């Protein structure tokens, strides 16, 4: 038998999983083959065997990290400010009653990936990298800080004066009920134990506090189309790939209630996946016009079917 039983068990629900695909690192070119299984019960995808901390650290060569931090956050445009003020409660961003009204209406269709403001709210960005999002949250009025595993990734933000703790979330040892908002953007798919992560988040949130998550959607149309070549698989760095239901399930088990769950997509993931597919299978390259047309059609199809490449979800502690 090639595996021990614990290697094949789902990290979310403990059921047995079946091999779904074999991954290769097409982004950074690290050697090796990485097996991904799909849980027979909850359908989450996970790397099997799950790599240990030392192996995980080796998945992030220095060139993977984004070292530069733009010196000043771009000022938000008029419509975005209006939506943030009218729809998300960032009252300081739009002065007039009219712009707040326009923002409230426009918020139904525009900038649907923001989170409701809390005056005087304390925010933490987990896996904050160079601190770009900490900077954005501060500009929006949050008392924001970040925690980042990689010292070299955090350097730019720390030099720019942002409050960033170097280490893992657990190592930071924040006291109970410290935050009104915790963001985990493209983080949870890199963690070997997302259930433990959710429990820690629940401990750190204040009552009424929110968790914002962005992560690839394993139920995306793009994954159906491209399989092992789907850009957002990103082996071996992505350890667990969730459906929106998987996330909501582990959040609920930790005591968090779903308040928003939707999916987004852009032509970028399809075009990159297409490049992976062609590099792998040595298929002749199609004309770029055809590619552009299909990638746009994909964005429309993904929106119509609710199967975009990325999940945006907000969970609330009662
Ligand atoms: Zn499962």
> What is the distance in A from the centroid of ligand 1 to the CA of 17?
7
pLDDT, tens digit, 9 for 90 and up, residues 28-56: 999 999 999 999 999 999 999 999 999 99
Residue-by-residue DSSP string for the chain: --S-HHHHB-TTT--BEEEEEEE---SS---S-EEEEEETTT--EEESSPP-HHHHHHT--GGGS-----SSPPPPPHHHHHHHHHTT--GGG--SHHHHHHHHHHTTTS--S-----TT-EEEEET-TTSHHHHHHHHTT-EEEEEES-HHHHHHHHHTT--EEES-HHHH-PPTT-EEEEEEES-GGG-S-HHHHHHHHHHHEEEEEEEEEEEEBTT-HHHHHHGGG-GGG-TTT--EEB-HHHHHHHHHHHTEEEEEEEEE--HHHHHHHHHHHHHHH-PPPPPHHHHHHHHHHHHHHHHHHT--SEEEEEEEE-
> What is the distance in A from the centroid of ligand 1 to the CA of 49?
15
- Where residue 283 falls among pLDDT bands split at 50, 70, 90? low
> What is the distance in A from the centroid of ligand 1 to the CA of 46?
9
> What is the distance in A from the centroid of ligand 1 to the CA of 96?
50
> What is the distance in A from the centroid of ligand 1 to the CA of 41?
5
> What is the distance in A from the centroid of ligand 1 to the CA of 7?
13
- Which range among 65-74, 174-183, 262-271 shows the weakest confidence by mean pLDDT? 65-74
> What is the distance in A from the centroid of ligand 1 to the CA of 12?
5
pLDDT, average across residues 139-153: 94
> What is the distance in A from the centroid of ligand 1 to the CA of 313?
20
pLDDT, average across residues 1-5: 64
Q: What is the pLDDT of residue 277?
A: 87
Q: What is the pLDDT of residue 67?
A: 67
Q: What is the pLDDT of residue 61?
A: 85
> Model pTM greater than 0.85?
yes
Does residue 257 have a pLDDT over 60? yes
- Where residue 19 falls among pLDDT bands split at 50, 70, 90? very high
pLDDT, average across residues 199-217: 98
> What is the distance in A from the centroid of ligand 1 to the CA of 191?
16
pLDDT, average across residues 268-281: 84
Q: What is the pLDDT of residue 109?
A: 81
> What is the distance in A from the centroid of ligand 1 to the CA of 145?
33
Task: Share the mean pLDDT of the chain.
Answer: 91
> What is the distance in A from the centroid of ligand 1 to the CA of 14?
6
> What is the distance in A from the centroid of ligand 1 to the CA of 252?
15
Q: What is the pLDDT of residue 280?
A: 66
> What is the distance in A from the centroid of ligand 1 to the CA of 42?
4
> What is the distance in A from the centroid of ligand 1 to the CA of 188?
16
Does residue 285 have a pLDDT over 70? no
Query: Percent of the chain, pLDDT > 90?
Result: 67
Q: What is the pLDDT of residue 267?
A: 85
- Where residue 281 falls among pLDDT bands split at 50, 70, 90? low
Q: What is the pLDDT of residue 286?
A: 63
> What is the distance in A from the centroid of ligand 1 to the CA of 13?
4
Q: Collect residues with CB below 5 Å from ion ligand 1.
A: 10, 12-13, 15, 39, 41-42
């Amino acid at each position: 038998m090639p595996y021990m039983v614990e290697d094949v068990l789902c990290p979310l629900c403990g059921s047995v999983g079946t091999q779904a695909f074999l991954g290769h690192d097409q982004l950074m070119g690290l050697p090796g083959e990485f097996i991904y299984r799909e849980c027979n019960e909850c359908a989450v995808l996970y790397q099997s065997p799950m790599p240990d901390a030392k192996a995980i650290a080796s998945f992030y060569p220095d060139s993977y990290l984004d070292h530069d931090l733009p010196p000043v956050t771009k000022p938000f445009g008029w419509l975005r400010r209006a939506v943030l003020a009218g729809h998300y409660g960032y009252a300081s961003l739009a002065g007039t009653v009219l712009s707040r009204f326009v923002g409230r209406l426009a918020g139904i269709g525009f900038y649907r990936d923001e989170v409701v403001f809390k005056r005087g709210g304390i925010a933490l960005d987990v896996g904050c990298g160079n601190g770009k999002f900490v900077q954005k949250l501060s500009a929006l009025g949050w008392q924001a800080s970040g925690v980042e595993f990689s010292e070299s990734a955090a350097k730019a933000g720390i030099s720019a004066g942002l409050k960033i703790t170097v280490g893992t979330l657990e190592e930071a040892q924040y006291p109970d009920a410290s935050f009104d908002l915790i963001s985990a953007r493209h983080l949870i798919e890199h963690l070997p134990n997302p259930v433990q992560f959710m429990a820690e988040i629940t401990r750190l949130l204040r009552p009424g506090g929110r968790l914002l998550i962005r992560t690839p959607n394993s139920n995306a149309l793009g994954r159906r189309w491209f399989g092992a070549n789907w850009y957002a698989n990103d082996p071996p760095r992505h350890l667990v790939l969730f459906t929106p239901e998987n996330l909501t399930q582990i959040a609920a088990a930790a005591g968090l209630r779903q308040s928003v769950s939707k999916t987004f997509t852009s032509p970028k993931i399809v075009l990159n996946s297409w490049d992976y597919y062609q590099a792998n299978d040595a298929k002749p390259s199609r004309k770029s016009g055809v590619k552009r047309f299909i990638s746009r059609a994909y964005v429309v199809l993904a929106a119509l079917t609710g199967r975009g490449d990325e999940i945006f979800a907000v969970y609330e502690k009662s």
